Structure 1
Amino acid sequence: MESKRSSSPKTRSTSHGSSGTEYEVFLNFRGPDTRNTFTNCLYHTLLNKGISVFIDNQGIDVGEEISPEIFQAINDSKICIPIFSRDYASSSWCLCELEHMMQHRKTNELEVLPIFYDVKPSDVKLETGVYKDALTLHKKERGAEIVQRWEEALKEVTKIKGWDAKNIGHGELTHLIARKVLVKLKVSCVHISDHLVGMDESVDEVVNLLNVESKDIRLIGIWGMGGIGKTTLAKLVYDKLSTNFDSCSFISDIREASQGSGLLNVQRQLVFNIIGDMGVGFSNIDHGKNMIKNRFCRKKVLIFLDDVDHTRQLMALAAKKEWYGSGSRIVVTTRDRSVFDQFLDQFDRCLIYEVKELNNLVALQLFSKYAFRSNSPPNAFLSLSKKVIEQIGGLPLAIEVIGSFLCGKNKEAVWQDTLEKMKFCQRRDVKEKLMLSYVALDHQQQQIFLDIACFLAGQHKSYPYYMWDDCGLFPNEGIDVLLLMSLVKIGEENKLWMHDQLKDLGRSIVYEEYCKDPKKGYRVWRNQEGPNIVWQKKGTETVAAYHSNFFVHSQDLVLISEDFIKMPNIRFLEMCGLSLSGDFEDLFSELRWLDWEDCPEEMQATNFCPKNLVILDLSWSNIDEHWGGWTQLKQLNLNGCHRLQVLPFELGALEALTEMLIESYYFPTSISQVPSSIGALVNLEHLAICGATHLTILPNSIGMLKCLTELDVSDTGIAELPNTIINLRSLKALNMSHSCMQKLPEAIGMLEKLEEIYGVNCNWLETIPGDIVRLPSLKNLVLTKTRVENVPKLPQSLVCLCLSSRASEKAPDISNLVNLRSLELCFTGSTTIGWKTIRGDFCRTMRGSRHVAKETIDIACCKLELSTISSISSYSGCLRYIKRLEIINCKNLRQIGQLPFSLTGLMVNNCNLLEVVDLSNLSNFKNLEDLEVWDCPRLVEIQGLDKLESLESLIIGRCSSWLCLPDLSNWKELKMWDVDALTTYLARGKRVAQTEDLPLSHRLRLRGSADPEF
C-alpha cells in the first residue's frame, strides 16, 4: 500500500488503534488505484456492519521499510481482503503483505478473501503480462528469491474463490462482501466462559481428529469424568469450525432432555437447527429417524450432542453415516465410553478423545481467575494457592468451586484452616474435592443443596421456595450462599441448575448415609427405589421420595396408608401414576409438596388431607370437582386436568393460596364455571385459567382478590370481565389472548398498577375504553388481530407502534400513559378503512421495549388503508425523545408529512403510492443522521433534503426515475451513500449532485450506474 507513510511507529496512524489491537478484517490494496474509490466504499460498509477494520491511511514511500505494525495487524486479523487492481503488482509492499498473509493462512487458518477489481484471475496468476511485467522489474531491485516468493503467493491466492468486480456495481459488491464477512465472523450460538485457560492444545487435538477437509463421515467422542470440561471443549471446537459446514447444531444436556418422552423433542430441535423449518413435525422416534435420514443425507452438517449417557439416544439422533452428507461430523460428549460400542463400524471413522485434568501451571491460572479475578495469585497468596492446587488437582469444576469459595477471603488463617480441612480429602475423587464447600454450609443450606441435587434441579425456583420457607430453611439466604459458592445457578426461565458433578456429590452424601443406616434413606430420587423404600418399610427418616413412571397404570401400583406409618417426616412426595388406598388420617403431617401427576380418577384413600401441604401438583390427572383432596395450599397446579368441569366449592378452605394454575392448550379443559367462593382466596397472587373454552363468565367475587397481580384467561369463552375487576388494585398483568373478549371494563383506568395487557387474536374485541388513559403504570399494550376501530393517542414513552388494525380518526387521548413501552394494533380481516391522517399523537419516545432493541416506532400498515400522514409532530411537547421512525408496507400511503425534529433515523419501505416525503421542518435541526427509502416507485420528491447537513447515511433504491435529488455538495458529514442508477438523474436532465465538490472519502456509491462520469 503506497503513498506516504512515516517510518516512525510513533507518528504513523491507522484507522483503528495501535499495534496489538485485534482486528476482524485487514484490507490490502494499492493506494493510488482504489483508496478513495472502491476501498473506501468497502471500508465504510464494513464499519457500518459493526466490523473492526484495519486500513492503512498513509501508505509507504518508496524505499521505506514496511512497519512491523502492519505485519502484526495481519497476524491479529481474522480475515484479510487483498484488492487486486491494475497496478497492484507494481507495489512491492502490497506483494510483501500478500506473502505474509498467505504464509499466516497456512499456519493459523487466517481467512483470505480476494477481490479482482479491474484484473482477471489469470492476470494475478501471471498468465498475462499485467502482473508478470511488474515482477520482472522487481527482480532487479529485490532479487530473484524474494520475487519468487511473491509469485508463489500470487498463484496461491488465485486458488481461493473471490469476487470479480467488473460486472457488478460497487454498492452491491461491498454489501455482498460484508455479508460474507459477517457469516465468517458470525456470533456463535454457544456461550463460552470468560474464565478459560489451557484449552488451546485440546481444541487443536479435537480439530485434528475432525479433519474437516476430509470427505468421510466421522463420529467423534469427547469422553471423560463429570466436571472435567467436556462441554467447554466441545463449545470451543464448535465455535471454531461451524462456518465450515452447510448447517450446524449444538444440543446441550441430552441426558436430561431425553428423559421420558423428551427424546422426541430432541429430534425436533435437531431437525429445526439443521433445516430451520418449525412446520416439520413427526409423531414418534422412528418417524424422527426417517426425517433426519431423508433431510440430512445431502447436507454437510456439524452436530454436537452434549452429555449423552445411553446408546438409545445416539440411535435416535445419529445411528448411521448414511443419514448425513459427505464431510459431515458428529461430536458426542459423554461420561460413558460404552455408548460408542455399537457405532464403531457405522461411520467411516469413529474416534474417541479423552479429556485429561489440567496440569499444575494451568490449574493455578484457572484457580487465580476464580479466587482473585486475575491470571495469577498475588505474591502473598502464591504459596497457599499452589498448596490448594496440590490438594484439589486439575479438575476444572473443583477448581471453580474451591476458587469461588476462597474468593474474598483475605486472611491467611482462613486459608490455612481450609488447607487443613482439605487434608482429609486424600482421594482425588471429585466428591472429596467438592466436599469442603458442602461442609462450609450451615444445616439449612445443606438441606437446600441436597434437595436440589437429588430431585429439584430443573424446577422453577419459586416452587421449592414455598416448601423451604414453610420448613424454616430460609431459602432466600440459602440460595444466595449457594450461588456465591458456585454450587447452584439460576438458569433459563428461572430454573434451578446444578452441574452433574455437584448433583453426584449431593446424592453420594445421601447414599452413604443410607448405606450406613437404611433408616436414614431420607431422600430417594431413583424411580425404582421410590415405592420400594415405602413397601419395605425402610427409611423412617425419609424426607423426600421420588417416583415417576408414565408407562404403568395407576391400578398396577397402589400404596396403602400402612406403608407410610413409618415415614412421618416426609415433606416431598412425587408419585406419578400411583394410587393410594386406606385411611390417611394423621399421616403426612410434615408433607409440604405433593407432585401427583396422572392422579387416578378414583382412589380408596380416606381422610387424605395433609394439613401442612403448601404445593399440590395434579397436572394431567383424571380428577373432577368431586375429588376430596383439597387442603391449605400456597400453590395449586391443575394443568391438563381436562375432566375438571367446575372448580371445587371448597375453595374457601384455601385461604393461603397464592398461585392457582389451570392451563390446558392441547386438550381444552371442561371447566365451565368458577364458583363465587373464589373470592375467599384473599392471598391469591397469580390466577391462570387457560384453555377453558366453555368458561364464559367470571363471578363478581373475583373483585375480592385484593392481592392478585396476574390474571390469565387466555383461550377461554369469556366475552366480558365483570365490573368488579376494577377492585383488583394490585393487578399488574392481564392476558386475554385467543379469548372471546368483546370489550374491556369502562372503568379499567382504576387499575393503577396495571402494566401489561395482552389481547392477541381477540377476534371479537371492537373497542378500547377511553378510561385506559388513566392507567399510569401501563407499559405493554398488545392488541393484535382484533376488531378494534379506535386507535388511541399514545404516550411519550411508546417504543413500538405496529398499525395494521382497522382504525378511525376518533380516538381517546391516552397520552398520559407515560410508562407505556409497547403498543401493537393489528387486524387481519379483509375490510380496510380509509383513514386520512395518522396524527402525531401516535408517535412517542421509545425506551426499553422488549420488542425492539433500538428506539423505534414501526408503522407496518399491511391492511390499513392510509392516504396521508399529514403530520407527525410535537403533540403537547411529548415527541422530544423520538429517535427512529420506520414506515413499512403502507400500501396506500401517499404523503409523509412533517416529522418530529428529534428524529435521528428514518426508514420508508415498500409504500407503493408514496409520492412525497417532507423533511423541511428538520432543516433547522441537526439530528437526522440516517435516511433510507426503498421500493417507493412513485416517490418524486423528498422536500428539505438539501438542508440536512448532519446526514451521515443516505440509501435510496428502487424508487421513481423522476425522483428529484438536489445538489448535495454541502453534506460534509455524509459517510455512506447508496443510491441506485434510477435516482442518479432527473428526467429534466439536471445532475443530481456535484460529487466532485465533495471530499473524496464521501463520494457517491452507485449500484448499476451507466453514467461514465461516476
Structure 2
Amino acid sequence: MVECTLKSDEKKKKKILPIFFDVDPEDVKLKTRSYRKAIPKHKKKFGSDALKQWEDALVEVAHLKGWEVKGKGYGERIESVVGEVLCRLNARNVDVPECWVEDNRQIQRILETLEVDSDGVRFLGIHGVGGIGKTVLAKVVFNEVSSLFEGICFLNDVRESSQHGLLNVQKKLLRSFVGPVIAENIKDIGEGMNLIKKVCCTKKVLIVLDDLDKQEQLEKLAGKSDWFGSRSRIIFTTRNLKILYTQVESSSEEVPNQPKSILDYEVHNMQFSQALELFYKHAFRRDSPLDGYGHLSEKIVHRVAMLPLAVKVIGSYLYSHGHAVEQLFDKRKLWEETLEQLDEGPVEDVQRTLMISYEGLQKKEKEVFLDIACFFTNEDHTYPVIMWSECNYYAHSAIGVLLLQSLIKINDDKKFLMHDQVRDFGRDIIRKEYPLRFSRVWNYETAVQLLERTETKKDVEALSLTSNGCSRNIVPKELAALPNLRFLRVKGIDFFGNFKDLVLKLCWLSWEVPHNKFCAENFHFVSLAVLDLSRSNIEDDWDGWRQFQMTKNLKVLDLTGCTKLTRTPDFSNFVSLKVLILSALITIDDSISKLDKLEELRLMSYMPGKLDKLEELRFMSDNVVRASCRTMSDDMLSKLEELRVMFMSFEDILRVFGGGSVVHSVTP
C-alpha cells in the first residue's frame, strides 16, 4: 500500500479501493489513542523515514472512496465491492499521444454535457474541422469515464473501416461485448443491428465511434436510444454536421432526462499558449524554446492557426530537419524558409503543412509513407516491415523518420496509427501524381476497373481487391499486365489459369480463399515473402500447398482463423520462414523442427514437442488454456525474449525466471 501511494506518476499508480471493516475512515487518520500509542514504538523500531511513509499512506487511503462495512449486510456489501472491481478491471484505456497538451476546459465541458450520472441514453456528437483534435478529446473522455460502465468499446476510424463494409465494423463493435466467435458468425447488417440491440439493451454501455462521415454508419452501429440500457452514452466524432440530425429517439415510453435529439459539442481551437506548448514539445522536445527561437515559434504557431495536427507536424519537421542541417548552417534559416512556405497558402490549410513535411522525405521514406496511408493504418507493422526490407526500402530507418516527423505512430500492439487527415493527404498524392494510372489501388471499384483495362500498367505496385460478397475471378492476363506488383490483397477471389513466370516481384499475397477447390497452375512466386491465408476456407487436402511448397523465399505464413484446417502443411521447404502463425490446429507437422530461422511462433493449440532446434526463436504465444512450458527445454527458454501464455503454473514460473532465463515478459 505504501508503494502504491508513493508513485508520483499517475499512470504507474496502482488503484486502491479501501474497505473499512468495522472501523471508521477517521480511525486510520492517526487520530485515535491506539495509533498515538503505537507511533513511538514503530518509530524506534523502524526509523522516522519508514514511519513517515506509513503515516502518509494511511492518511491518503482514508481520503479514498471506499466502503464502510459494519454490523450486518455483508452480502450486499460484497456484491457492491465485486461490481466495482469488475467495472475497474473492465476499463481498457485507449492510447493518447504522449506529447498531447491537456485542454481541461474542453474536457470538462464534454463531461458536463454527457452527465454520466443521469438516467436515460445520451448521444453526443463531437464535431469540428479536420486536425482540430476531436479524436484525442474523445479518447481522453473515454479513459476518464470508462470504468463507470458495464460494457465499453472505442471504434477507431469508422470512415476508413466502412470501406470494407459496415458489416465488418459491426463485427468489431460486437467483439467487445460477445467475443470474436459470435461476432464473426453475423451474416448481414440487419442481423448485426439486432444483435447489438439484444446484447446492449439491458446494459449500461459506453461506445465511441470515431470519424463518422455518413448517417448510415450511426444508424447501423448505434440505431436508437432503446438499443441501450439506461445511463448508456454513445459518443461519435465527425466533420459532417448532417449526422447530428440523425433520428435516435426511441418510439418507446418516455424516459426521465432522455434528450430528444443528439447532443453536440463543437471543438474549438487550442488557446495560443496551449498550441505554443504543443509546438515546443515537438520542435524542441522540451517545454520551452531554445534561445533565439521564441519569436519564430510564435509566428509559426499563428500561421498554422493553432490547429493541433498542423502544430505537431510542422514542429516535428523542424526538429528532425534542424538536426540534419545544423552542422552546415544556422538552422534558423530553415525555420525562416518554412515560415515563407506556410505564407504561400491559406492559414487553415493543413495540407500545405503536410506537404512541407512530405517533401522533406527521401524517396524510399515516401514509398513507406504512401504504403501505410493506403493499406496499413491500424495494422500490425510486422508484415509490412518484412515486405519493405525485401524491397530494399530500409524499413526501420524509414519508420524512424516518419515517427520523428509525427506522420505515424506505433501503439503498444505494434500497429501503425495515422491521423485521418494525414492518411487522406497520402492518398491524395497518389491520385494527383498518378492520374488514371495509380501506383497503389485500395478501392474495390477502382481495382476492378484497372484489372479490366487491357494495357500493361507498369506503375501499379500494390492492389487491394476486397469486398463483402465479392465473387470475381482473376485470370493470368490480368496479372500479366501488372509486372511491378509487389503487394496483392484479395478476399473471396478465385485464381483461374496458368500463372507461370507472372508478377515476379510479388512480395506479399494476402488471400482469403473462398473454398477448398484450387484452380490455378504454377501458382508460386519467386519473390513471395509474406503469405497470409488467414480466415480462409481451406481444408487439409487443399491443393494449394503443393504449389506453395516451391516458394523458397517465404518469411511469413499466417493461418489464423482457418477453422476447417486441422493440421499444418509440411514445412520442409519453407526454410526461410521467420514468422509462423497457426490457427486451432490439432496436428503440427514434425517438420517444424527444420525451421531453424523461425523467430516468432503463435499457437492456438498444444505446443509441439520438437522446438529445441529453433535456434532463432525469440517470441512465442500459446493461447491454449492448458498451455505449459514443460515441453520446452531450459536452453530454449533461455533464448526467448517474450512468452505469452494464458495460464502458467508456479513450477513453470520458477523455470522461466529461476533458471537464468532472459525472458523480458511473460504476458497473458
Amino acid of the structure 1 residue aligned with 2:538: H
Change (3 A) 1:38 1:224: farther
Pairing 1:597–2:497 present: no
Q: Does 1:658 align with 2:558?
A: no
Structure-2 residue corresponding to 1:488: 408
Matched, 1:36 2:26: no
Q: In angstroms, what is the RMSD of aligned CA positions?
A: 5.1
Match of 2:304 among 392, 411, 421: 392
Which structure is higher in RCO with an 8 Å CA cutoff and minimum separation 6?
Answer: 2
The amino acid of 2:315's aligned partner reads G
Is 1:262 the counterpart of 2:168? The answer is yes
- Assess if the C-alpha contact under 8 Å between 1:736 and 1:762 holds in 2: no
| Structure 1 CA distance for aligned equivalents of residues 666 and 155 of structure 2 | 27
Task: Please state how far the C-alpha of 1:334 moved relative to its aligned partner.
Answer: 1.7
Secondary structure of 2:125's aligned partner: strand
Q: 1:590 to 1:55 in 2, by over 3 A?
A: same
Write the deviation string for residues 740-799 of structure 1: whole angstroms up to 9, x where unpaired: 97xx46xx7666556678888799x99989x956658455999999xxxxxxxxxxxxx9
Determine the structure 2 residue equivalent to 1:422.
342
The residue number in structure 2 matching 1:355 is 267
* Of 307, 319, 329, the match for 1:407: 319
In 2, the alpha carbon distance for the partners of 1:624 and 1:205 equals: 58
**3-state SS of the aligned residue for 1:331?**
strand
Aligned equivalents of 2:365 and 2:473: distance in 1?
31
Deviation at 1:290, TM superposition (A): 3.4
| Counterpart secondary structure, 2:554 | coil
2:186 is aligned with 1:283: yes
Pick one of 138, 141, 146 that aligns with 1:234. 138
What is the letter of the counterpart of residue 821 of structure 1? Answer: V
CA contact (8 A) 2:563 2:583 kept: no
Q: Is the CA contact (8 Å cut-off) linking 1:388 and 1:419 kept in structure 2? A: yes
Residue 800 of structure 1: how far off its partner (Å)? 5.3
Aligned to 1:209: 113
Flag the 1:247–1:480 CA change in 2: closer, same or farther, 3 A: closer
- Which structure 2 residues correspond to residues 89-168 of structure 1 after superposition, within 5 A? 163=68, 165-166=70-71
In 2 relative to 1, CA 647–173 (structure 1 residues): closer, same or farther, beyond 3 Å? closer
Q: Distance in 2 between matches of 1:679 and 1:278?
A: 32
Change in Cα spacing, 1:425 to 1:645, as seen in structure 2 (3 Å) is same
Cα deviation 1:633-659 (Å, max 9, x = unaligned): 332334425165345656675333333
Give yes or no for the alignment of 1:225 onto 2:60: no
Candidates 366, 376, 384, aligned match of 2:288:
376
Q: 1:597 to 1:414 in 2, by over 3 A?
A: same
Alignment partners' CA distance in 1, 2:340 and 2:643 = 61
Q: Is the 8 A contact 2:499 2:523 kept in 1?
A: no
Against the structure 1 CA distance between its residues 335 and 681, is the aligned structure 2 distance closer, same or farther, given a 3 Å change threshold? same
- SS of the aligned residue for 1:36 comes to helix
**Cα separation, partners in 2 of 1:34 and 1:578, compared to 1, 3 Å:** farther
TM superposition shift of 1:182: 11
Contact 1:753 1:775 in 2 (8 A): no
Counterpart CA distance in 2 for 1:34 and 1:653 is 83
Is 1:821 the counterpart of 2:656? The answer is yes
Deviations 1:423-449 (A, max 9, x none): 223342221122111111122222222
Whether 2:150 is the aligned partner of 1:315: answer no
Deviates more, 1:385-394 or 1:427-436: 427-436
Number of the residue aligned with 1:911: none
The DSSP-based 3-state class of the residue aligned with 1:478 is: helix
Match of residue 609 from structure 1: 502
- The normalised TM-score by structure 2 is 0.75
Would the alpha carbon gap of residues 447 and 726 (structure 1) be closer, same or farther in structure 2, given more than 3 Å must change? Answer: closer
Deviation of 1:257 (Å): 4.3
Matched residue, 1:330: 234
Change (3 A) 1:475 1:775: closer
Secondary structure class of the residue paired with 1:343? coil
Q: Relative to 1, partners in 2 of residues 1:282 and 1:407: Cα closer, same or farther, differing over 3 Å?
A: same
Matching residue's letter, 1:350: I
Whether the 8 Å contact between 2:525 and 2:551 is mirrored in structure 1 is: yes
- Report sequence identity in percent: 26
Residue type at the aligned position of 2:532: N
Q: In 1, are the aligned partners of 2:490 and 2:511 still within 8 Å (CA)?
A: yes
How far the C-alpha of 1:463 sits from its partner, in A, is 3.5
User: Using the alignment, how far apart are the partners of 1:305 and 1:282 within structure 2?
Assistant: 22
| CA distance 1:326–1:474, shift in 2 (3 Å) | closer
Give distance in 2, aligned partners of 1:38 and 1:768.
53
Structure 1 residues 256 and 582, CA gap change in structure 2 (3 angstroms): closer
Deviation, 1:367, is 0.9
Amino acid at match of 1:283: I
Deviation of 1:241 (Å): 3.5
In the alignment, the residues of structure 1 paired with residue 384 and residue 476 of structure 2 have an alpha-carbon distance, to the nearest angstrom, of: 27
Distance 1:80 1:300, change over 3 A: farther
1:642 equivalent in alignment to 2:538:
yes
In structure 2, which of residues 341, 344, 358 is the aligned counterpart of residue 438 of structure 1?
358
SS at match of 2:491: coil
Once the two structures are superposed, residues 96-134 of structure 1 have per-residue CA deviations (whole angstroms, 9 ceiling, x without a partner) of: xxxxxxxxxxxxxxx877xxxxxxxxxxxxxxxxxxxxx
Query: Which one of the candidate residues 445, 448, 457 is aligned to 2:368?
Result: 448
- How far 1:306 moved relative to its partner? 2.2
Partner of 1:95: none
2:92 and 2:474 map into 1 onto residues whose CA distance is 48
* Candidates 70, 92, 97, aligned match of 1:193: 97
Q: Distance in 1 between matches of 2:545 and 2:92?
A: 51
Tell me how far apart the structure 1 counterparts of residues 428 and 371 of structure 2 sit (CA, whole Å).
Answer: 13
**Deviation readout 1:682-736 (Å, 9 max, x if unpaired):** 5344456756xxxxxxxxxxxxxxxxxxxxxx42275xx36xx766654556777
1:239-254 matched pairs, under 5 angstroms: 239-245=143-149, 247-254=151-158
How far apart in 1 are the matches of 2:147 and 2:623? Answer: 38
Q: Deviation of residue 230 (structure 1)?
A: 0.9
Q: Distance in 2 between matches of 1:431 and 1:35?
A: 68
- 1:49 is aligned to none
CA gap 1:32/1:348 in 2 versus in 1, 3 angstroms: same
**Where does structure 1 lack aligned partners over 5 or more consecutive residues?**
1-14, 41-51, 59-72, 82-110, 114-161, 555-576, 692-713, 786-798, 805-817, 823-842, 854-1014
Which residue of the partner structure matches residue 124 of structure 1?
none
CA positional deviation for 1:383: 0.3
Distance change (3 Å), C-alpha of 1:782 and 1:685: closer
Distance in 2 of aligned mates of 1:187 and 1:287:
28
Structure 2, gaps ≥5 residues long: 19-24, 40-51, 251-258
Structure 1 residues 539 and 395: CA distance shift in structure 2, 3 A = farther
Q: Distance in 1 between matches of 2:556 and 2:180?
A: 36
Change (3 A) 1:431 1:263: same
| Cα shift readout 1:964-1008 (whole Å, capped 9, x = no counterpart) | xxxxxxxxxxxxxxxxxxxxxxxxxxxxxxxxxxxxxxxxxxxxx
The 3 A distance-change label for structure 1 pair 730 and 642 is closer
Query: Are the structure 2 counterparts of residues 642 and 239 from structure 1 closer, same or farther at C-alpha, using a change threshold of 3 Å?
Result: closer
Shift in Å at residue 611 of structure 1? 2.4
Work out whether residues 584 and 607 of structure 1, in 8 Å CA contact, stay in contact via their aligned partners in 2: no
Structure 2 CA distance for partners of 1:354 and 1:768, relative to 1, 3 Å: closer
In 1, Cα distance between equivalents of 2:186 and 2:37: 54
| Matched-pair contact (CA < 8 Å) for 2:225–2:248 | no
Q: Distance in 2 between matches of 1:317 and 1:435?
A: 35
Instruction: State which of 475, 478, 487 in structure 2 corresponds to 1:580.
Output: 475
Contact 1:401 1:437 in 2 (8 A): yes
Distance 2:625 2:86 in 1: 40
Tell me if structure 2 keeps the 8 A contact 1:255–1:309. Answer: yes
Distance 1:754 1:363 in 2: 46
Structure 2 vs 1, CA of residues 614 and 772 (structure 1 numbering), >3 Å: closer, same or farther? Answer: same
SS in structure 2 of the partner of residue 332 of structure 1: strand
Specify the alignment match of 2:43 in structure 1: none
Deviation at 1:237, TM superposition (A): 2.3
> Helix, strand or coil: the match of 2:123?
strand
Cα deviation for residue 507 of structure 1 reads 1.9
Matching of residue 479 in structure 1 with residue 391 in structure 2 = no
3-state SS, counterpart of residue 250 of structure 1: strand
